[in-house]
C-alpha cells in the first residue's frame, strides 16, 4: 500500500467543501490514515512549497495557503500518489469530473494539494505528520 499527503486548502475549507472532497477519496476506496486541521506558518508553507520559490506565482501561493486553516491528510491505498492526483485533476482545473475540474475557482484557488511523486509524498508526510510512524 502506498501513502500520500493531501492538503485541503483554505479556499475549500472556507467554501465548506471538506466533506465532499474527502468523500471523493473514500468513494475510490482510499483510506484516510491520518487527518488534522492546522494553520500553516509562513515557515511551514515555504518548506512545503520550496520547489516553487523562484516562480512568479510564489507570493500569491504562500499568501493563500497561510490565509486560513487547512486540512492535512495522509491518504492510503494502491498507487495512492497517482490515484489521488487523478482524482484532484490538473493544476488549472480544466478536467470535468475531477475535484478541481468540478469546483475550483482558479489556478490559485484550486482547493487541494496532492504530492506529485512517492519521494515528495515521503517528504511532505514527514513535514505534516513528523511524529507518525509512516
Ligand atoms: P499542483 O498543485 O497541481 O501540483 P504545482 O505546479 O505544484 O501544481 O503548483 C503548486 C500550486 O501553485 C498549484 O496548486 C496552484 O495553486 C499554484 N500555481 C501553480 N501554477 C500557477 C500559476 O500559473 N498561477 C497561479 N498559481 C499557480
Ligand atoms: Mg505540485
Q: 78-100 burial, b if ≥16 CB within 10 A, otherwise e? A: eebbebbbebbbeeebeeeebbb
Nearest ligand, CA of residue 90?
Answer: 1
pLDDT digits (tens, 9 = 90+) for 79-132: 999 999 999 999 999 999 999 999 999 999 999 999 999 999 999 999 999 987
Fold of 2-133: Alpha-Beta Plaits (3.30.70)
Phi-psi category of residue 133: left, alpha or beta, with phi > 0 → left and psi -120 to 50 → alpha: beta
pLDDT digits (tens, 9 = 90+) for 3-54: 999 999 999 999 999 999 999 999 999 999 999 999 999 999 999 999 999 9
Which residues does the annotation mark as catalytic? 113
Quote the cell numbers at residue 18: 471538506
Residues with CB under 6 A from ligand 1: 52, 57, 61, 91, 107-108, 110, 113, 116
Indicate the top mutation candidate among 6, 11, 55, 57 to test ligand 1's pocket, ranked by most ligand atoms within 8 A of CB.
57
Domain coordinates in residue numbering, the chain: 2-133
Compute, in angstroms, the gap from residue 33 CA to the centroid of ligand 1.
25
Residues with CB under 5 A from ligand 2 (ion): 116
Amino acid at each position: 500500500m502506498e501513502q500520500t499527503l493531501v492538503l485541503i486548502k483554505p479556499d475549500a475549507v472556507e467554501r465548506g467543501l471538506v466533506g465532499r472532497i474527502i468523500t471523493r477519496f473514500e468513494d475510490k476506496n482510499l483510506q484516510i490514515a491520518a487527518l488534522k486541521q492546522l494553520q500553516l506558518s509562513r515557515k511551514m508553507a515555504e518548506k512545503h512549497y520550496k520547489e516553487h520559490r523562484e516562480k512568479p506565482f510564489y507570493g500569491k501561493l504562500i499568501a493563500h495557503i497561510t490565509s486560513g486553516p487547512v486540512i492535512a491528510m495522509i491518504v492510503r491505498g494502491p498507487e495512492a500518489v497517482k490515484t489521488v492526483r487523478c482524482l484532484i485533476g490538473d493544476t488549472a482545473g480544466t478536467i470535468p469530473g475531477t475535484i478541481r475540474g468540478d469546483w475550483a475557482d482558479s489556478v490559485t484557488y484550486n482547493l487541494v494539494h496532492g504530492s506529485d511523486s512517492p519521494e515528495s509524498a515521503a517528504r511532505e508526510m514527514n513535514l505534516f505528520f513528523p511524529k507518525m510512524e509512516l
